[in-house]
């Protein structure tokens, strides 16, 4: 009987110690996840890349470099992926914007239609500025640059929108 009692105390102690260790490990893991999450860009940094790609897209389309225009759009959208984790509500707004409001720009790129592209591009600028105001960022006003954001790219290379690798 005494032996069973000692065994129960040992087993109970191991369970208690194991549970405490697991709780501590879980807390430590959560601290690590929180630290990684804190290091990931929120919304402003990816949005800066979006802005640059958006400006470059215009000059690519105007130069007949439809592959580059589509590439800029594709990676403009991908630049916002960190916000899925860091700003999920705002990311949902972005995803809705890109899939609906921005879609006519992508359709114009795929059709390689400069006239339609310019019209839809300007409509997106207006929409961006309205959204910034609605979200409390009215001090951020998008305008079309007089030159592309990245001067190190040749925007005049003739390409098709379908030239972009999957």
Angstrom CA distances, 131 to 30, 94, 125, 140, stand at 34, 10, 10, 10
Question: What is the tens place of the pLDDT at every residue in 9-65?
Answer: 666 665 666 666 656 667 888 888 878 778 887 888 999 999 999 999 999 999 999
| Rounded Cα gap, residues 70 and 76, in angstroms | 10
Question: According to the 3-state scheme, what is the secondary structure of 56-84?
Answer: HHHHHHHCCEHHHHHHHHHHHHHCCCHHH
pLDDT score at 20: 60
- Tell me the percentage of the chain whose pLDDT exceeds 70: 85
Query: What's the pTM?
Result: 0.79
């Amino acid at each position: 009987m005494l032996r069973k009692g000692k065994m129960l105390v040992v087993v109970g102690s191991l369970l208690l110690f194991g549970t405490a260790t697991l709780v501590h490990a879980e807390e430590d893991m959560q601290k690590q996840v929180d630290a990684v999450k804190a290091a990931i860009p929120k919304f402003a940094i990816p949005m800066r890349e979006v802005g640059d790609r958006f400006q470059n897209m215009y000059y690519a389309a105007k130069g007949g470099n439809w592959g580059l225009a589509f590439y800029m759009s594709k990676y403009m959208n991908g630049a916002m992926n960190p916000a899925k984790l860091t700003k999920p509500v705002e990311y949902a707004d972005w995803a809705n914007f890109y899939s609906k409001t921005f879609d006519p720009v992508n359709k114009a790129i795929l059709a390689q239609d400069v006239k339609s592209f310019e019209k839809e591009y300007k409509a997106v600028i207006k929409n961006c500025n309205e959204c910034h105001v609605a979200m409390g960022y009215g001090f951020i006003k998008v305008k079309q640059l007089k030159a592309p954001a990245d001067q190190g790219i040749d925007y005049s290379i003739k390409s098709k929108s379908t030239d972009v690798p999957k």
